[in-house]
Chains A and B, each alone.
Chain A
């Protein structure tokens, strides 16, 4: 038996997964309209291929990848393109999106298509098919999966790390994916191992999901080396660097990638999606979303067409309770508050939480009392106390040598701060300010 697998620091927020953890995933009915933002992934936004009035079928490519770090977007329902234009984006801004009026009586069957037989494909061809299917990291960051599957030749990759932690409270989508579709997950693992050419996969799952651990263990095929490793329940166990440290003991150097310590990390949901691409031929047009929080009447784990508006999604869950006060896209630790129910679910949406006033504790802020609790919480071992006081004085220049860049905005520091100082929010703003200063300065220089 290995020693306890864990990282240091971090926090223990209430899990609050019990409302949805045992609910099997089910399909929601198709909404009357879907809205697909062109920017649903890290990297360049996709380029639209359709115009208003075009008829599209479920699975049709409606926007093309713009270069290598980008993925295409596919129609998630059969219908007619209503418009291409600005629409509320899950990140809180307005951005270009393709709106499709869904055909009400359509069977939503995908066009008959060729399902590529993966056994006959080379790793390069598999990776190309993954990009063409629009697959991105479904854990929230939405980084294009094919890029992670094609590491530069000079890096030696030793293992694939599968991230089944789901350390954010409330969310149970990865949990359900593993418990309901273990074979699909393991096919995805097999495909990814083939792409990367690695002999071994480490499968990290937090201990609070015994049924998922059990399901994956039972479905393990004998011919590939996949080790299922139960992990200590702690936030942010699912952060790539924390997960790698817990599983391998290796520390990803500051400013470097997991590649540099010989591993590639993939989220369980992305792994399953890849398998689906090779099972059905259907690109990424739907995903599992946890709808939970005390403000929603019937919490659920739903298979949702990408582009479904929050309004339709919440209606499918019995609507909102009277004391609903805040709607969050993603988990409660890093998710983004939504102001508009017209905002769609995107590829990176892990959950939609409706929090009541009581759940979303809002408190008066006090001056920093230098309790040091934030230092004890930061999994990156930064000094949020010092960074916070510098940021409030706009002394951004002094923050960079203190490794602000390594801050992953996980929110642990804000979570523990007894003075309720919104530290991670302050750091996000400081990062933006520093980035802006960097991009405008060279432009000014020649003048």
Chain B
């Protein structure tokens, strides 16, 4: 059997439009989930290093709970599980306003946030404790010490592993197709079904993911160099 390649299916008909929409949805979904994940990650990562035990325990609970359940289950949970618990009007409103999209954002955000918090915690723990003590000794509160000293240093140190988590987030966003979010993988499959050209459609999808990931990696390494701590990690990037 001879497979007949027909790459033109990608730009004829509705394919291009579908792929573009999928790309936009993937970007929106990933960007919102990323913001949520970074906020939760910083919060939980920082709380895990404080001396007050109840806050530490809450953060441990969040991390262990969310990173140990498959993402797919979380998607189902937020999409099928949570809305029925809400009042009728809220449910209706949600389903008229892309409930599946917001369920995906939350699922992806809290899941990735739990993973990111581990990275952030490791970054904080790599800073000598005396830096924290020096901050307190000059009269800063614990909150100020974290906000002005500990986190700014930690975040600069952890750009490479954060890049990893960010790429994982983007790739994991494809799981949202299971709750029928019309993101890139969803649209790729639609093109495939509609044109019966699987290789072409999947190649297009693959390349778009690849380009996105390379783009993110580039931006992150720029950020790393831009915010490098002079004399500490500047040399690595400058080489």
**Do A and B actually bind?**
no
B interface residue numbers (CB < 8 A to A)? none
A interface residue numbers (CB < 8 A to B)? none
